[in-house]
Amino acid sequence: MAAGAPDSIDERKDAVCAAIDGWADRLVEVAHEIHAQPELAYEERAAHDLLTSVLGEAGLDPVRSAYGIETAFEARVGDDGPTVAVLCEYDALPGLGHACGHNVIAAAGLGAVLGTATLAASGVGRVVVLGTPGEEGGGGKIELARRGAFEAVDAAMMVHPADADLLRMDCIAIQQLEVSYDGRAAHAAAAPHEGRNALDAAVLGYVNVAALRQHIRPTERIHGIFTEAGDKPNIVPERAASFWYVRSDTFATLQPLKERVLACLEAGALASGCSCAHRWDDHPYADLRDNGPMGAAYVANAARLGRDVLTPDGHRRVIGSTDMGNVSYLVPSIHPMIQVAPPGVPIHSAEFAQYARGQSADRAVVDGAKALAMTVVDLWSDPSLLGAAREAFAGATAGFDPPI
C-alpha cells in the first residue's frame, strides 16, 4: 500500500465521504443535466459524454464507447486488491423522461467512484465504474456481460431511487415477446367469407391470456398491447401484431410460463384460420439475487448518513425488473433503493419524474454516492465480508446457469 493511505476502515470511510463532499455540487449538476435531456435506450449520447467528461476532469481516463457499445463507458482505478464495480444507468422512459430516476443513479455511481479513486490509487483496492446503457428494456448490462465487462469483478453494486429507503427492490424475471398474425384481406361487407381476420386472431390470443391470468402464481405478471390492428373497418385485417411482457419471480419459473403464454397466443391464430409468428427478445432479465452480507454493510453505511433503510414487506415494496438481476447471477451484487419522493409516489410516473430533480433527489445523489463508496471500502478492507459475500452468492446461485 502506498504511504499516506489511512489504515482504519473508519478513517477510509471518512476520507471517501470528504472526497465526495468536494464533488457534491458537480454531482448534483450532473443529475440535473441528465434529467433535463432525457435520452432513450442506446441513444444516451449526451449523458455518456457528460459522465465521461467528469471522469476525465478527475484524471480517471475513461474508455468511451466501451466494449463496442456506443453509449457505454468504463474507468478503472487501482492495481491490487478486490475489484468492485459501481454501475451507472442513464436512459429515460418514452414520454415520461427520468420517471425512474436514472439521472440520480448515474450521478450517485459517478460520485462513488470519484470518492474512492484516491484510495484505490494508493493500493487499498480496485474500483471500476461501468456506464450501462439501455436498462429500460435494452439489456445493456447483459450485453456488457456477454462482452466480458464483469470478468475479474469481485462484487457489483448500484443504488436506485424510490419513495423510501429500502434494502432491495423485488426484481422479478422478464422476457419480451413480439407476436404477429397473418390472415387474408377481403371486403368486410361484400365478401367477408373470403377473409381470414388477423385482428380476430390477435384478440382471441389476448382473451386467452386474460383467462390464463386467473391460473398463474401471484408472483407472476403478463402485460400486452396491440401494435397493429388493421387499416380500415371495411377491410378484413390481413395483419395484426401484439407486444408482451411476461414476468415470473425467478428466471427458472419464467420458462414454463413463457410456454403457456405462447400457447394462448398461437391458439388465437388456429381458431381464426390465420398464421402466427413470434420472437422472444434475446435479452431476458433475470430475478435479482441480492447479496445479504453486502446489503447489511450498505444498511450500516446508510445509517451513518441518517438514513434508516427498511427491509421490504407487504406494505413497502417496489416490484419491477432490471438487467442488474443478470449481473447478480455473475458476481455478488446489491441494488438498494434510496428515497427521493414521498411515500406512495410510484416510479415510472410523471410525478416521480418531478421528484427526481428535487431537493430530496439532490440529497440522494450525495448520500447514495457515500453509502456506495463506504460499502466499497468495507469490501476492500474486511476480508471476512468479501468471503461472506462470496459464500452467500454461491448458495444463492448454486445449480443455475448464468442467464447471459
Q: What local confidence, expressed as pLDDT, does residue 315 receive?
A: 56
Neighbour tally for 142: CB within 10 Å = 22
Residues paired with 184 in a beta bridge: 196
- Report which residue type is found at 112: A
CA distance 240 to 127: 49
Q: Quick one: 9-169+288-397 is in which CATH superfamily?
A: Zn peptidases (3.40.630.10)
Q: What local confidence, expressed as pLDDT, does residue 312 receive?
A: 83
Q: What local confidence, expressed as pLDDT, does residue 152 receive?
A: 93
CA distance 318 to 91: 19
CA distance 139 to 361: 25
Which cell numbers in the block locate residue 323? 438487467
Q: Are 361 and 342 in contact (CB under 8 A)?
A: no
Q: What local confidence, expressed as pLDDT, does residue 319 receive?
A: 83
CA distance 225 to 228: 9
Q: Are 291 and 332 in contact (CB under 8 A)?
A: yes
Q: What local confidence, expressed as pLDDT, does residue 5 receive?
A: 73
Q: Which residues contact 396 (CB under 8 A, 6 or more apart)?
A: 289, 291
Task: Tell me the domain boundaries of the chain.
Answer: 9-169+288-397, 173-280
Q: Are 371 and 157 in contact (CB under 8 A)?
A: no
Question: Residue 174: in which H helix or E strand, if any?
Answer: strand 173-182
Which cell numbers in the block locate residue 190? 361484400
CATH number of 173-280: 3.30.70.360
Q: Which residues contact 54 (CB under 8 A, 6 or more apart)?
A: 26, 30, 110, 114
Q: What local confidence, expressed as pLDDT, does residue 379 receive?
A: 98
pLDDT tens figures, 85-138 = 999 999 999 999 999 999 999 999 999 999 999 999 999 999 999 999 999 989
Q: What local confidence, expressed as pLDDT, does residue 320 receive?
A: 86
pLDDT tens figures, 356-397 = 999 999 999 999 999 999 999 999 999 999 999 999 999 999
Low-confidence ranges of the chain (pLDDT < 70): 1-4, 314-316
Q: What local confidence, expressed as pLDDT, does residue 1 receive?
A: 45
Reported in sequence order, the residue ranges of 90-197 that DSSP labels E, i.e. its strands, are 126-131, 155-157, 160-162, 170-171, 173-182
